[in-house]
A and B are shown apart, each in its own frame.
Chain A
Amino acid sequence: MKKQPDKVPDETMLTLWMDGELDGDELARMESWAQDHPELLAERDAVQAMSASIKAIVPSSVEPPYPDFFNQRILRRVDDETTILTAKKNAHNGYRPFGSKLSRWLAFPTAAGAMALCFYLGTQMDDGPERMGPAIAVDAKSNIYTPDGDVTAAMFSSEDDGATIIVLEGLEDIPDDFEIVGEPHRGRSDQPGAMMVNTEMVF
C-alpha cells in the first residue's frame, strides 16, 4: 500500500516548528512531514542555531532607558505610519471619502478663521490694568535650615528692640591668615578652585 502524503502544514505551524515552539503530536506530525523536505530541516537547524547564538549574547529582556519616552515615540511612529498608509491607500483607490471632500471645502474657511482668531488674540494683548497684583501678604513663622549637618542654628527675637537673632554654631572658622577685608576673593589653599554652585531647583 502506498504511503499517504501528509497534509502540508500552514505557515504558522511551519514557523512555530522552526522556532522550536511545537511539542507533542504537532511536533511529531511536523517532524514526519519534514523528513521528505531536507531543505526545511536544514533551514530549521540554521534558525535554531542563530536563535541560540542571539540568546547567548543578548539578554532576554532589556528595559529601555526611558520607557515612557520610548513607548510614546513608538506609538507616535505607529500613528504616523498608519496615517501615511491610509493616505496612500485612498490615493491608490482613486476615490475620496465624503469627509475628505468636505474637509477640502472647509479648509479655506478654517484657515481664514484661524488667521482671524490669531489676529484677534494678538490685538487683545493690551496694556490693560496692572496684571501683576500687589505682593501677597504672607504670615507664617520663619524657618531656618542649615545644609551642613554639623552646623546648628537657633532663631529667636530680642525682647528689647524687636531684632531677630540667628545664632549659628559649628561653622568652619575663617583661617587667621586669610584677609577677608578689602581683598578680592581667592581660593584658600585647602580648597583650590572651589565653585559656588546652587543645586536647588528654581521654578
Chain B
Amino acid sequence: MTKLPLTIAALGIHFALLIISARADEIGPDKGKEIVGKVKATLYIGTDAEPSTLGGNLTAVEQATVKRLSSIKQMNFKHYRKLGADFQPVFRSYENWLTPLKPSEEILLSFESRGSSAQGGLRLDLELWQHRRKVMKSDPVLHVGKPLLILGPKWRGGTLIIAIELIENPLKK
C-alpha cells in the first residue's frame, strides 16, 4: 500500500521521459552538424632543383599560384608542383579533417569552427599533423580569396607548402 505513491511517481517519470524522447526526435537533426563553410587544402612542393628529382607524375601549378607563392620570400622557389588537394565542409561544432595526400596520411589537417570573426572571416581551430604527430596548432581567421599558407617539412630536396583556403562562408553577413 505504501509503495503505491512511489509506483505512481515512477510511472509519471517514465511517461515524461518517453514524451521527452519523442519530442527530441521531432526537433530534428543535430545543429552541430550544420555546415558553416567549406575549406580546401592544397599541397604544393617548391624546389630549386629539377622537378624530375621529385619523381612521379606531379601536376604543374597554375601561374597565378606560382606568382603568389614566389612573391613570398620564404616560399620563393624556382619550381612548384602540386601534390594533392582535398575539400571538406566546416561543421558548426564538430571537428573535420583534410587529407590532401589521400590515401596517404603523411600530412593531415584537423579543423573545427570557432565562429565568424568581426571582419566576416571564419576562425578555425587548426592542427597540422605530420606522420600522425601533431606538429602545429593555431586559430587563424580564414577569408574567401585569402589563403593560409604553411611552409612545412622538406622532402626530396623541396619544401612542402600547404595552402588552406575558405571557399564558402555562409556565416558572412
Which residues of chain A come closer than 8 Å to B58, judged between CB atoms?
A: 181
Assess the B143–A162 pair: CB atoms within 8 A: yes
Residue of chain B at shortest CB distance from A176: B156
Which A residue sits closest to B130, measured CB to CB? A171
Contact A135 B36 (CB under 8 A): yes
**Which B11-28 residues have C-beta < 8 A from chain A?**
11-13, 15-20, 23-24, 26-28
CB distance from A90 to the nearest CB of B (A): 13
Judge whether B136 and A163 touch: CB under 8 Å.
Answer: no
Q: Report how far A137 CA is from B119 CA in the complex, Å.
A: 9
Report the bound CA distance from A174 to B71 in whole Å: 25
Total number of residue pairs linking A and B with CB closer than 8 Å: 218
Docked complex Cα distance between A182 and B156 (Å): 16
**Closest partner residue, chain B, to A125 (CB atom):** B23
Chain A positions within 8 Å of B2 at CB level: 104, 107
Q: How many B residues have CB within 8 A of the partner chain?
A: 77
A9, B92: Cα distance in complex, Å = 79
A132, B92: Cα distance in complex, Å:
10
- Which residues of chain A are near B160, meaning CB under 8 Å? 174
CB distance from A180 to the nearest CB of B (A): 4
The bracket for how many chain A residues form the interface is 35 or more
* Complex Cα gap A107–B5 (Å): 6
Which residues from 167 to 199 on chain A have a C-beta closer than 8 Å to any C-beta of chain B? 167-168, 171-174, 176, 178-185, 188, 191, 194-196, 198
List, in ascending order, chain B residues with CB within 8 A of A132's CB: 31, 92
Q: How far is the CB of B65 from chain A (nearest CB, A)?
A: 11
Interface assignment of A10: CB less than 8 Å from any CB of chain B: no
In whole angstroms, what is the CA distance A166 to B142 when docked?
Answer: 13
Q: Is B101 an interface residue (CB 8 A)?
A: yes
A126 at the A/B interface (Cβ < 8 Å)? yes
Chain B residues closer than 8 Å to A196, beta-carbon distance = 105, 108, 129, 132-133
Given A137-B118, A138-B114, A142-B139, A173 and B149 contact (CB-CB distance below 8 Å): no
Q: Is B78 an interface residue (CB 8 A)?
A: no
Cross-interface CB contact of B147 among A110, A115, A137, A163, cutoff 8 Å: A163
**Besides A164-B148, A173-B154, 7 other CB < 8 A contacts?**
A126-B23, A142-B141, A151-B136, A160-B68, A160-B71, A166-B136, A180-B104
Can you list 5 pairs linking A and B with CB atoms under 8 Å apart?
A: A108-B8, A171-B154, A173-B153, A180-B104, A181-B84
